[in-house]
Structure 1
């Protein structure tokens, strides 16, 4: 490999070496990994999580560099690695170039952490690489660098770890690129991707190892909109949701690769999955980029066309059910107690509401009820809540009043509680005949979500979604042509793949589906199974 030309502090270029170093890239990589492990070991895991410092596995860095480099169209590219750490992608890019004979014009790494920046400088300076210690967002606004290849694993810093003044400054930078500020709930990687436009040459290739959350979340709309309208997306490759790319980060990751070029009307985007972007598992799916919109969710593209590509007349679960999240108490350990403990305290539970155990402690498909509507369960729970004034409670149920009087300051001052009037009035729900456990893992069974038939008057916490029949389904049940058992059976046979595609995924294969997402899941199969017809115009259902 030929010596490389790098950037000096002033931004000019010069040949860094007149000959190659006496040691090999492999030797340097071994040294880098040793120093990486030592730096990781000396840092508290909580601190590393807060700073979003998760080192890129070497094999993954090599795989990404190999894929990205083959898309570069210039002969002597300039490479940029934001947040380079000890230089995992620098090594991977140098190694890939050595194998293919490609010569870099410049390689630049930017690293905010002083210790990692020093390690990278000591390791890679002899290979024509310039390491700049500083914040990449500041670098993007001041540097004249225009990279032909950018490869990055940006810090995975959650929005609540970003100070307000930092968010404001980063938002101003991003506004220069997109004309709009990202959501305040955006993680740091969103700012990195949007600001990187300032450092890219026309036609440059960008490859990002990032969390998959932006595919579905509301805060991801800004980046989805930007990507769909302003660049040509080459590949979105998601790793196995049931595994973890990083041993120390509970997050599902993907590789986003795009070209800094306006997408043509016929440009297509490839969605793939597996451990290696160069060798995807199963069939990759290809869609016109024009079908991608910032307002729609993108995770469905890995398995099927998203909702916007389905016929407009296809009914959804919202045509059958009103869907609400279970209650949020503000402090379950205080507001939810066992019925036996309540009785032992002399509290009259006749006006209190039964509440179901959390999903992990409820494995029954059907909840039966006693004559008073209490669920027939080994564990009966009570919601400690009332809308009446304290004086009224004291007269009617003195033991309950005493319980409320004994609440500590931590309970009374939690966010939800302090904004209620009275503070002990938990939000209300009608008992739902159908419940869905809205979050879970498949664990090899393929059923992260469970539909439960509820005959009791117990309500549920926000570990469940509550489904109330509506419209034609409600009418059919009231008329006797359908029973709740019929509905529950149909839901149990409903495609888990449809629910998974409609929801979102987190690290370790944790699946989740929110009320609006569940409402939009296509439900034609349930209509057909229950014998409910729907037409293709006007009022769809009759």
Structure 2
């Protein structure tokens, strides 16, 4: 924006001001506003002059997004996280719409989470005869969207649907539909149970297996596969985690069967794929109904290198179908030097158990009356490993995890009485009705793994630390345990931990929204380490 516009927009300090501005820009002239949208518009005057409003219109007409920019200034990324609202830079939008233009001319454009309309407006300009449907669940964003549509005079082509994209219904059209946008990033903890059921049942009906742990972007890929018809095409930018994690397998299945994967372009966090979140992004291009024999994959360090998304190394359908981690296929695997191996050859890496309700299963030892046999001192916070240094030498400061046997009849009468009393408390908190508990053989049995000789953090804004577990503490899902495939001496384990602490950097993991870098177990197993012979004598 120009200096004048920046100064003018700085007077917009509240969402009420922004709603008034959207109304004055013509939001109320685009379709019929919902009651929720109307309730947001205050009966106050806009703190801008008519000349300032005219200049803002000119900025929007030239492709700017002062409304979206101001929204991001008023609300922090943390404020916008519940709705998964991230805003994409124009250069990435240009690359995606350019790819779409190479596929043909759509008769309809659908944006699944339109926000202030960045994708919608860019696509409308690229395809001037296409009708447009924008799905948006947030009434405030819908107001901004309507205002931008009004300024661009797209009243007769654009329709705003206030509601969940998964509930969207599309009328039949004669010709292809383009699906394009930035689906919201919302983790599964914030997704309602009924939508998790929708995901599982809808995937099952297509012959696929889904996970209730999937994030919202996975839901949107499935919803698109449901809405799309053969000949439709699309491009989404999302976080890249679905390429590797178990709950992203549904997207991988869809791209091989039904959604028609064409290419995937993984953007490094330094490329700033999202304007307000440091995370690894992935642009996924697809052609609905196609049965690809291969998909193009590539890794991009800079946005300027994106081009029109026609590049990439072709990876065969068979290899993709056999691989549970697609991001590694975008990397050129470095040659392992002589005397070194992948960590996975020495150790299996396992994430700790998911309790499903830490407030119940994780307690301070002196706050709970239960048999010692079911109380396991455990690492339950990453900082416990960071603060331990090279070795965790005692249980001091650690909480205990309550891990009951599947067969409660193995307990004696006194112990069973204490356990039954505890379980009545857990039931009052409806722990037995939780998703994790419902998947266990017995809802009350957490199922801790045995103590691992090496524990590792796996998600932080700093490289993971690797700690020798002299205390034989258990761990829950905030840490990974390294379990030797064959018995390793204390010296080898000590030297392995020392090497990993000094050698592993953030570059080996994947960066998520908020700048956190994560190492999935299989990623950690790909770390290159000295072989046993070298570890026996130490790494110089």
Q: What TM-score does the superposition give when structure 1 sets the normalisation length? A: 0.64
Secondary structure (helix, strand or coil) at the match of 2:93 reads helix
User: Structure 2 residue aligned with 1:439, among 452, 459, 463?
Assistant: 459
1:86-485, aligned counterparts within 5 Å?
86-94=116-124, 97=126, 104-113=128-137, 115-116=142-143, 118-119=146-147, 121-126=149-154, 129-133=157-161, 136=165, 141-144=170-173, 146-147=175-176, 149-159=178-188, 180=208, 182-196=210-224, 198-199=227-228, 202=231, 206-228=234-256, 231=260, 233-240=262-269, 245-247=274-276, 252-259=280-287, 262=290, 268-276=296-304, 278=306, 286-290=313-317, 291-293=319-321, 295-305=323-333, 317-326=343-352, 354-356=377-379, 358-362=381-385, 363-367=387-391, 369=393, 374=394, 379=397, 392=414, 413-415=430-432, 427=447, 430-442=450-462, 447=463, 449-471=464-486, 474=487, 477=489, 483-485=492-494
Residue number in structure 1 paired with 2:87: 56
Query: Does structure 1 conserve the Cα–Cα contact (< 8 Å) formed by 2:257 and 2:291?
Result: yes
Alpha-carbon distance change, 94 to 23 in structure 1, aligned in 2, over 3 angstroms? farther
Query: Does structure 2 conserve the Cα–Cα contact (< 8 Å) formed by 1:209 and 1:255?
Result: yes
Secondary structure (helix, strand or coil) at the match of 1:64 reads helix
1:28 and 2:60 correspond: yes
Count of residue pairs brought into register by the alignment: 463
Q: Distance in 2 between matches of 1:157 and 1:452?
A: 32
Query: Does structure 2 conserve the Cα–Cα contact (< 8 Å) formed by 1:494 and 1:525?
Result: no
Alpha-carbon distance change, 329 to 168 in structure 1, aligned in 2, over 3 angstroms? closer
Q: Distance in 2 between matches of 1:510 and 1:332?
A: 22
TM-superposition CA deviations, 1:261-296 (whole Å, max 9, x none): 84765764333243556379xxx9634344423752
How many angstroms does 1:240 deviate by?
0.2
Residue number in structure 2 paired with 1:521: 526
Q: Distance in 1 between matches of 2:185 and 2:278?
A: 11
How many angstroms does 1:236 deviate by?
1.4
How many angstroms does 1:221 deviate by?
1.6
How many angstroms does 1:465 deviate by?
2.2
Query: RMSD in angstroms over aligned alpha carbons?
Result: 5.4
User: Structure 1 residue aligned with 2:515, among 509, 512, 520?
Assistant: 509
Gaps of 5+ in 2: 1-30, 32-53
How many angstroms does 1:359 deviate by?
2.9
Alpha-carbon distance change, 68 to 263 in structure 1, aligned in 2, over 3 angstroms? farther
Query: Does structure 2 conserve the Cα–Cα contact (< 8 Å) formed by 1:252 and 1:505?
Result: yes
Query: Does structure 2 conserve the Cα–Cα contact (< 8 Å) formed by 1:238 and 1:253?
Result: yes
Q: Distance in 2 between matches of 1:380 and 1:250?
A: 32
TM-superposition CA deviations, 1:442-487 (whole Å, max 9, x none): 3xxxx2x22112323433443222233332xx1x63xx9x643344
Secondary structure (helix, strand or coil) at the match of 2:517 reads strand
Q: Distance in 2 between matches of 1:148 and 1:456?
A: 59
Alpha-carbon distance change, 216 to 505 in structure 1, aligned in 2, over 3 angstroms? farther
Q: Distance in 1 between matches of 2:167 and 2:534?
A: 58
How many angstroms does 1:108 deviate by?
1.3
Q: Which sits farther off after the overlay, 431-440 or 139-148?
A: 139-148
Residue number in structure 2 paired with 1:488: 497
How many angstroms does 1:317 deviate by?
4.1
Q: Distance in 2 between matches of 1:167 and 1:263?
A: 27
Alpha-carbon distance change, 495 to 77 in structure 1, aligned in 2, over 3 angstroms? same
Secondary structure (helix, strand or coil) at the match of 2:251 reads helix
Secondary structure (helix, strand or coil) at the match of 1:80 reads strand
Q: Distance in 1 between matches of 2:263 and 2:195?
A: 31
Q: Distance in 1 between matches of 2:256 and 2:443?
A: 46
How many angstroms does 1:494 deviate by?
5.5
Alpha-carbon distance change, 351 to 299 in structure 1, aligned in 2, over 3 angstroms? closer
How many angstroms does 1:233 deviate by?
2.1
Q: Which sits farther off after the overlay, 255-264 or 383-392?
A: 383-392
Residue number in structure 1 paired with 2:98: 69
How many angstroms does 1:80 deviate by?
0.8
